[in-house]
Structure 1
Amino acid sequence: MPAGLVISAPASGVGKTTLTLALARAWRHRGLNVQCFKSGPDYIDPAFHAAATGRASVNVDSWAMDRGTIAHLVSRGADADVVLAEGSMGLFDGVAARGVSGTGATADIAEMLGWPVVLVIDPSGQAQTAAAIAAGLRDYRAGLRLAGVVLNRVASPRHEDLVRRALNDSGIAVFGALPRHAEISLPKRHLGLVQAEEQAEIGKLIDEAARFVAAHVDLDAVLRSAAGWSPQPTTNALNVTPPGQRIALARDAAFSFVYPHMLEAWRAAGAEISTFSPLADEGPDASANVCWLPGGYPELHAGKIAANARFRSGLRAFAETRPVHGECGGYMVLGTALTDADGVCHEMTGLLGLETSFAKRRMHLGYRLATLAAPMPGHQAGARLRGHEFHYSTILAQPDTPLAVVHDATGAVIAETGSRRGQATGTFFHLIAEDR
């Protein structure tokens, strides 16, 4: 029977990802099969999980997914020894308005699955107050069980002793304390973590993190705190219609942000996926009946994309007879022009009139609920799509017919409507699920 745990924290940036990867790799070194999940919409962490465990990880999201979908996704952990769900932001952080089965908070997933929570606490600049924070999280919501805490970035043995005593007095188990150790920090980028597939040394970093955590954390005690979990048999599929029978998927360092569960759902529904690299000046497979450009970092490769004539001409030829869809970065590449962070304007494929700029960065972040005004690949007009948007580009022009009416999680209408022109469509949000 698998044992399940949720790794969470009071806030972002405390060390959830590092601890999750370290625990997963350390237990794997002990011969255990470890399955990871990511609570919430972050599409980068699952690739790190896969690097640590050797098993594909997917997102589970209470705002965008119903309980049946979440149960279906986590059932892949049925043959594992340990199942770890990494949280996002703070334990109870979500949106104000409830979505399909919750607010997107990590606590929703912990309660839904019945898995205890291991908190990562950074007591920098405090001592006994760290225990008050942990106790407050423990008692804030009925239905959750706190397994214990791991202290991170502890300044000294005296500091650790003060915090440990306060936590013990509060009845909270301390599984270990990690001194400051910058060498295991994962590299950062403007959208968060560098993608795992871009980081050549990721295996060494995870191994170092595993050794470090194993030396300072009682791995056996953490494992004993996990809840035995018997996945319930589910006939609930993801109810995802593939965008086509044969899908040409752009896939390289510029086009890499796509939710793993979406690709799995397409394949499960019988679709075939062929990949091509715009950065290698490749066009979509001529035998495909739809082309999909995911998000990624096109702004970092805009000059090369603009210069790759074979890719651009191949995509334009494809779009004359078959649908092409772009998400976020892919949407920008379908546009007319992209201005990079240095203010240099690069010509894009011109299938849509969208013009975007990174010269003045402005963060766009949050859940999106879109009602389609026209069809897009895999979805009919009127469909309600749930997704997530995260980018720093500014719209200079979006002249084409809007693809959808798009609301944020509060219900407010937003300007990032997506576009359609001929066979081309695009959205700024990354698709997670369709309301049924």
Structure 2
Amino acid sequence: MTCPGLIISAPASGTGKTMVTLGLLSAFRAQGLVVQPFKNGPDYIDPAFHTAASGRKSVNLDTWAMSADRIEGLSGAAHDADLIVAEGSMGLFDGVANTGEAGNGASAELSALTGWPVVLVLDISGQAQSAAAVALGFATMSPDVRLAGVILNKVASPRHEALARAGMDRVGIRVLGALPRRDAIALPERHLGLVQAEEQPRLQQILDDVGAFIAAHVDLDCLRALAGSRIATDQPALPVTPPGNRVALARDAAFSFIYPHLITGWRMAGAEILPFSPLADEVPDDSADVCWLPGGYPELHAGTLATAGRFRKGLRRFAETRPVHGECGGYMAMGAGLVDAQGVQHAMAGLLRLETSFAKRRMHLGYRLARLKSSIPGHATGARLRGHEFHYATILDQPDPPLADVVDANGQAVDETGSRQGLATGTFFHLIVPAS
């Protein structure tokens, strides 16, 4: 059994593909269709918007981190859907250098694997017929990727649209829609991307507006007819080893970055998830056998975390007898202190001696392959893990023993090795899946 799908991509980031994806999800949903969203590559923020627009949990698919079998199993989220709409990452062919062990993570590679045709979103501000040369290059770059057509974005006038359409007609590329310039539906951003969906007070109104905008300017029937697939959606998802049988999971605005496929995989393996909120000064459930602190935005809530005495004391007490693991923001919250963007020092939980700062921001971005020097919940010493790192923190001090040997996608060692102390462990990289 298959479900037809499309990948919404672009020549580069910042061209409007997230807005188009959200609009399509909202517009098709308004027509009564069941639409399953996916996101290519590592990303926490866009999928939350997908979920709000479609009413279904968006799932990340990643050809660098995941095997073809795992991607096919995760595609099973669409087993009861009418249509798949997947959002690409960066530019269509942008990925890492392929080292031979894994894919390169590009949206084009996901399209080739799944058979989902590409809808290319083109920002044509500052050009007209020349946009066709760009589209033609993308259409002919790979014989394994089928371009369904283009959606023209930031169209200045009817004359501008006519000129761009003439260029596309000349090279035989279908125009599926033309979107006039409209800034009113832009979503606010911060340093890791869009401001989180849960922080948008008018989110439903925004999604309704963008859905109506897309429905008015895109040929939805034609676009749906062009969808296709070669990947089965009735295959079972591959298991994911849980960190414990009863997992105390930090979940609030400061700790929201954990992939749905991990939680689903943990539950499939029989684990029970016990959420708690550090921002509400809650403590891990005492019946849990492990505590997991995901990433998020602890730097925006450092003052609240520093004064959450019950949480900090309860976490330290928990770590005396049971493992506690943190990823990125969770790792920083487990440390001794965090300096916010204004240069103010805040005391953190103190399970580790890590000191971090956002006063001088430096981007850390990319895939990570780690070999554990010590075990973490769910994974033994020597295990190889695939993940990614994306933050702006600077390490001021990391004196505890390193947790792992970590390299980037090109095999180059990185300084963010994570650390350990007693039963407390943490990493700057976010786990995607264990390496095969």
TM-score by structure 2 length?
0.98
Number of residue pairs the alignment of both structures matches: 435
Once the two structures are TM-superposed, the CA of residue 98 in structure 1 deviates from its matched residue by 3.9
Query: Which position in structure 1 is the counterpart of 2:47?
Result: 46
Query: Quick check: 1:255–1:296 contact (8 Å CA) kept in 2?
Result: yes
- Runs of 4+ in structure 1 displaced over 6 angstroms? none
Q: Distance in 1 between the 2:312 and 2:369 partners?
A: 31
Q: Distance in 1 between the 2:138 and 2:385 partners?
A: 33
- Pair 199,388 (structure 1): closer, same or farther in 2 beyond 3 Å: same
Query: Quick check: 2:42–2:62 contact (8 Å CA) kept in 1?
Result: yes
- Does the alignment pair 1:71 with 2:72? yes
Q: Distance in 2 between the 1:314 and 1:99 partners?
A: 45
Q: Distance in 2 between the 1:101 and 1:68 partners?
A: 13
Show CA shifts across 1:244-286 (max 9, x none): 0000000111010111111111111000001111111111101
SS at match of 2:257: coil
- Does the alignment pair 1:62 with 2:63? yes
Query: Which position in structure 2 is the counterpart of 1:139?
Result: 140
Query: Which position in structure 1 is the counterpart of 2:277?
Result: 277
- Does the alignment pair 1:87 with 2:58? no
Show CA shifts across 1:134-156 (max 9, x none): 10000001111110000111111
Q: Distance in 2 between the 1:221 and 1:166 partners?
A: 20
Q: Distance in 2 between the 1:346 and 1:336 partners?
A: 9
Query: Which position in structure 1 is the counterpart of 2:247?
Result: 247
Query: Which amino acid in 2 is paired with 1:305?
Result: L
Query: Quick check: 1:64–1:99 contact (8 Å CA) kept in 2?
Result: no
Mapping for residues 191-340 of structure 1, pairs under 5 Å? 191-227=192-228, 231=232, 233-235=234-236, 237-340=237-340
Unaligned runs of 5+ in 2: none
Q: Distance in 2 between the 1:123 and 1:203 partners?
A: 28
- The answer to which of 106-115 and 95-104 deviates more is 95-104
- Does the alignment pair 1:160 with 2:161? yes
Q: Distance in 2 between the 1:263 and 1:238 partners?
A: 13
Once the two structures are TM-superposed, the CA of residue 238 in structure 1 deviates from its matched residue by 3.0
Query: Which position in structure 2 is the counterpart of 1:110?
Result: 111
Unaligned runs of 5+ in 1: none
Q: Distance in 1 between the 2:320 and 2:379 partners?
A: 20
Query: Which amino acid in 1 is paired with 2:266?
Result: W
Query: Which position in structure 1 is the counterpart of 2:423?
Result: 423
User: RMSD across aligned C-alpha pairs, in angstroms?
Assistant: 1.1
SS at match of 1:314: helix
Once the two structures are TM-superposed, the CA of residue 354 in structure 1 deviates from its matched residue by 0.4
SS at match of 2:133: helix
Query: Which amino acid in 2 is paired with 1:169?
Result: R
Query: Quick check: 1:64–1:100 contact (8 Å CA) kept in 2?
Result: no
Q: Distance in 2 between the 1:245 and 1:210 partners?
A: 41
SS at match of 1:366: strand
Show CA shifts across 1:172-228 (max 9, x none): 000111011111111111110111122121111111001111111111111111115
Q: Distance in 2 between the 1:155 and 1:411 partners?
A: 45
Query: Which amino acid in 2 is paired with 1:7?
Result: I
Show CA shifts across 1:24-60 (max 9, x none): 1111111100001001111211111110111111100
Query: Which position in structure 2 is the counterpart of 1:36?
Result: 37
